[in-house]
Homo-oligomer: A and B are copies of this chain.
């Protein structure tokens, strides 16, 4: 019996799941990954030149679990010209004991957005300073909004400063987030983020650093979401080399193509100084020193997809 779950149903089902359950589910994703309780084969890729498009096939399973999950995500960059979204995605869940298809989740990439935002919340839960006066968000897109929304459940601060490259996008962000429960201000200067924020989330596809080192960054936690392929970079190398603790979702992925990959290639970071988020979750919240600068580099791992797909199937 195949269950097709539409985009609308997925949104509805997710709205009935408590944030606590969502957080716990994605925490388990990191725990299983870091404890080698998951099988995550290399990502499959199909590329097109004209029009330019990429398809990623991510798949895997958690040992002794209900399902294995195959996620198909595409980006076709000329789509908006035809009025179509550039990103698309679906997840297929199969019974791990029989291979029988259990459900197709037509989430159009939404579940990936959510599990990424939840990972940001987990990063803040374990690493953010106790006192956050202002949250800094860099970027104005989907993740920039979702990250802030999911931070609500883990930090008390309700003041956010948003950085973007254009005033127009900042205004649109502010309008979209009117009912978010946050008092939102905006800036075109990255330095303002470093100066005013104790918890910063970077969510852009930047290929040149958008956040520069400044003494104000001592005592700050930064979650870096944007860099997920070679060439992307949001933080300057000095920030990375000054960090007191760098946490990764997957040390293997982050050193290859995450925020820290460039620093790693230049030997500014060594793998033995890196801690995986799953290890951190296992050992519990760290004790920050007042001036500690911490970074969490998130590239996205297949167990997050597996866990969120499972959550939808369980609550459908």
Contact = CB atoms under 8 A, between A and B. Distances in A.
A55 B79 contact: no
The size class of the interface chain A forms with chain B is 35 or more
A44 B60 CA distance: 10
A96 interface: yes
19 contacts: A2-B106, A4-B4, A39-B46, A41-B44, A44-B44, A44-B59, A46-B60, A46-B61, A46-B68, A53-B97, A53-B98, A53-B99, A55-B94, A57-B57, A72-B92, A74-B99, A76-B98, A78-B97, A79-B99
A90 interface: yes
Number of copies: 2
Contacts of A45: 41
What does DSSP make chain A's interface, helix, strand, loop or mixed? strand
B55 A82 contact: no
Interface string A67-102: 010101011101100101000101010101111110
B59 A59 contact: no
Interface string A1-13: 0101000000000
Interface string A34-73: 0000010110111110010101010111000000101010
B88 A55 contact: no
Contacts of A46: 39, 41, 59-61, 68
A70 B68 contact: no
A199 to B, nearest CB: 35
B94 A74 contact: yes
A41 B79 CA distance: 24
A100 B104 CA distance: 15
A99 B44 contact: no
Contacts of A106: 2
Interface string A114-142: 00000000000000000000000000000
A68 B41 CA distance: 21
A99 B48 CA distance: 10
Contacts of A59: 44, 46, 57
Given A74-B99, A75-B99, 4 more contacts: A48-B96, A72-B94, A76-B98, A88-B99
Contacts of A82: 98
A98 B79 contact: yes
Nearest to A88: B99
Contacts of A76: 97-99
Contacts of A78: 97
A179 to B, nearest CB: 32
Nearest to A60: B46
A266 to B, nearest CB: 31
